[in-house]
Structure 1
Amino acid sequence: MKLIFATQNKNKVVEVAAIFEGTNIELVTLAAYPEIPEPPETQDTFAGNALQKARFVYGQTGLPCIADDSGLEVDVLEGAPGVHSKRFSAAATGPANNALLLQKLTGINERTSRFRCTIALVYETFAKTAEGRCEGSIGVAERGHNGFGYDPLFLPDESSPLTMAELSMADKNAISHRGRAFRQLPGLLDDLSDYLEE
């Protein structure tokens, strides 16, 4: 099945493509549609942003579309950076975001956090979401060169003492928020098939 993946984020594409390797799902990204502008992300929840992006790209292509929104929630920061994870710092880059996060956590030992990802599948009037989470904590310094964003700081409970950026792609996808969300896609596709048969 051909699905439009509403992203131009090459790192996300690599992760998600690895999850669906060997399946009959053909992911086509926005790189194949250069005329489509960047989808909006103006909602205050991960689910709201994922649905907004998927509906926008479906409206442009008329094809089944999946989108995701994800971010990091740090408990002591009352869930920040949350839906603003990508734009947490003024520079809105991975290194700048990580530096700001470490600055805000200076002197704080309680660093529990989680990555969250919500995916949305949209086609015609059909719209469903699924969520994945990865619990962990924030380290005191960046470690590792795999992954992107906050991965060098995030210590998943399931792989401690390794950061997300120290894991192989396969190990990361096994426990990551994005991997857990996208592994629910076959169920959403079954629901879409039922919808199309009605």
Structure 2
Amino acid sequence: MYQFISKANLPTVHGDFIIHAFENEHGQEHVLLSVGLPSTDPDKIPLIRIHSECLTGDAFGSLKCDCGPQLNTAMQMIQAHGCGAILYLRQEGRGIGLVNKIRAYALQDQGHDTLDANLMLGLPADARTYEMCEIMLKHVGITKAKLLTNNPNKLAYLQELGIDVVERVPLLVGVNQFNAEYLAIKGARMGHFIPSEVKISPKI
């Protein structure tokens, strides 16, 4: 059973959000950050981001992925838009967990790509699920949205839930020399909407 637990104000460096806490039947906790929801303006379509937890990128600023920049950019964009949400799902390492993610990192250090590293450990390329999204979106009254993503699976899943995704908004940020190959692999082998050649930020 998936259920809403509580909510509170959350001031951040990007602006003020409402943080909503949810829990599933296994006690796993997820949160949603919202701005301007439920919307009272039928013409204002919420901007949403489904973001899976990445301790190394979100908290430690790892350059091996683009997760931290994606999260921060999504928070900034939703604040600027004035109406939207981030669905922060606790499924580290594309669902394989933190320890297995570090094991996969070790294989990547040996020259294997992000997909092969998972498979060499006997793990799926992507073990994430999105069941929690339905109760989260219903909780804040979202039936129509603009989706911040490069992942076609997230787009398809929201459409299966009956959410009218009126626009996919690309989110290609934080590219650097440590993650350019990782992003290219996601485009070439995992079907993400990523150009075959990604442009590295001059800031890194």
Q: What TM-score results when the alignment is normalised by the length of structure 1?
A: 0.28
Q: What TM-score results when the alignment is normalised by the length of structure 2?
A: 0.28
Instruction: Give the structure with the higher percent helix.
Output: 1
